[in-house]
Amino acid sequence: MNKYKDIINLPHHVSKNHPRMSLNNRSAQFAPFSALTGYSEKIKETARITDKKIELDEGLKTVINNRLQIIKENIKSVPQVTITYFIKDQRKSGGSYKTIITNIKKIDEVNKIFILTNNEKIQIDDIINISKM
């Protein structure tokens, strides 16, 4: 300690050439650095679980077709139905199932599409369950 005795009580040096750094900028230089930009998002996307589309057996296809026929016969009354259908994932293979209660406005038999009252479209081939309310 004796060798610093001559400078220990001197005032702190303030540079005349460089302005004082703000506390915000000073703390930013110690922030974590991510060398692989977007890597953590890729890991999260890979870990995200999707469902496989269920392939219906002939018995279930017959049940759904019978229910579709009933809905088709009552389409003028804009029937309310509960539909469970597959939504293909946009980023990876598979997808998810969604169940909604909605009203059907129209059935496009050529393209095999339900058109709902909110103009949303559901592929009939993606439906795994449908029931009239």
Q: How many domains, in total, are found in the chain?
A: 2
**Does residue 92 fall inside a structural domain?**
yes
One domain, residues 38 and 67: no
Instruction: State both tokens at 54.
Output: 């269920």
What pLDDT band is residue 40 in, cutting at 50, 70 and 90?
Answer: confident
Q: Are 78 and 105 in contact (CB under 8 A)?
A: yes
Token pair belonging to 67: 């229910």
The enclosing domain of 98 has a CATH number of 2.30.30
Same domain, 39 and 97: no
Query: 24 and 86, same structural domain?
Result: no
Residue 34: predicted pLDDT: 66
Which of 28-37, 40-49, 51-60, 87-96 has the weakest average pLDDT? 28-37
Say yes or no: 88 and 30 in one domain: no
In this structure, the answer to whether residues 66 and 39 fall within a common structural domain is no
Report yes or no on 127 lying in a domain.
yes
43 and 71 part of one domain: no
Write down the residue that tokens 């909110």 correspond to: 118
Could you tell me if residue 65 is inside a domain?
A: yes
Same domain, 85 and 25: no
* Domain ranges, residue 99: 58-132
pTM summary value: 0.66
The whole-angstrom separation of Cα 71 and Cα 116 is 13
- Tell whether 66 and 120 lie within a shared domain: yes
Average pLDDT estimate for 71-77: 90
Looking at the fold, whether 68 and 43 belong to one and the same domain comes out as no
Whether 1 has a pLDDT exceeding 70, the answer reads: no
